[in-house]
Amino acid sequence: MASTTPCYRFNSALVRTPAASVVNGLRNLDAGDPNYEHLLAQHGAYLTTLAAAGVAVSVLPALAAFPDAVFVEDPALVFSEGAILLRPGASSRRGEAAALLPELHRRFDTVVILPPGGHADGGDVLVTPDAVLIGISARTNPTGARALVDCLDQLGYHGKIVQTPTGCLHLKSDCALLDEETVLVTHRLADTGIFKRFRRIVPPRDEAPAANAVRVNDVVLVSSRYLRTIDRLETAGFRTVPVDTTEIEKIDAGLSCMSLRWFRN
């Protein structure tokens, strides 16, 4: 793998302010629209948490035409070595990539563009020390995943295609890398065996969305609703920072998807 920096070491992040249209964001089950003011406040608290973890956060303006554009992790991947512009799998999200491209060029010398033909969402990509896992899902198809392996290769990373279980929106809806040898992973994803070489911390079944967490430097950002998962993480020696996610969870999101994070040498 290209970088020798730990996969959870970051000093730079890109986020996007949620537009008022975020209340129309995509969702699988309708648990009611998020409340815009609450969501905005929770997003603000997330930014504060990232900054407190040691990350310089750059904030992009809201994109009213794209309700899900706050989930900036999906249209791109970023590494110390460069960025990859993706092709989101949901038709309502395709234009997010074009809006992000100039911002990537502004920050990275190398920007590789996923070729037309397939689709891939950043939420389906988990960077681990020995491979970048790419989950096939309803948003990332095999053509997109294979093209992404080639794009990763151009940046010096080894991509490995895996299958996400049915019902899982994105690979990272169900997992987070905690350190070089440990993952937080739901029962259903752990059962596929893709993390068998890792030590696995599994949230209780009724706290499965807690797996959409993110390790940033010395802390794990985890949804504040899931107290037993927080306890399991703390007991295993991880320092957690609980973050309120009630509003974004209504549109199927968690903590990794609201930022693009990288380490700038």
Give catalytic residues, as residue numbers.
170, 257
| Smallest distance, ligand CIR to C-beta of residue 114, A | 16
| Smallest distance, ligand CIR to C-beta of residue 234, A | 24
Instruction: Rank residues 111 and 253 by Cβ distance to ligand CIR and give the closer one.
Output: 253
| Cα of 63 vs its chain's centroid, Å | 19
Instruction: Rank residues 68 and 233 by Cβ distance to ligand CIR and give the closer one.
Output: 68
**Look-up: residue for tokens 């929106």?**
169
Enumerate long-range contacts of 104-108, CB under 8 Å, 24 or more apart.
104/76, 104/78, 107/12, 107/14, 107/58, 107/83, 108/78, 108/82, 108/83
**x-or-dash pattern for ligand CIR, window 76-105, by CB under 6 A?**
--------------x--x------------
CB-based contacts of 190, cutoff 8 Å, min separation 6? 200, 202
| Cα of 138 vs its chain's centroid, Å | 16
Strands 175-179 and 182-185, sheet pairing = antiparallel
Site for ligand CIR in 43-72 (CB under 6 A): 68, 71
| Smallest distance, ligand CIR to C-beta of residue 68, A | 4
Residue 245 interacting with ligand CIR (CB under 6 A):
no
Residue 257 interacting with ligand CIR (CB under 6 A):
yes
Site for ligand CIR in 165-224 (CB under 6 A): 170, 172-173
Q: Tell me which stretch binds ligand CIR (CB under 6 A): 20-28, 34-42, 157-165, 228-236.
A: 20-28
**Look-up: residue for tokens 């080894």?**
158
CB 216 within 8 A of CB 7: no
Pick one of 55, 120, 252, 261: the residue that binds ligand CIR (CB under 6 A).
Answer: 252
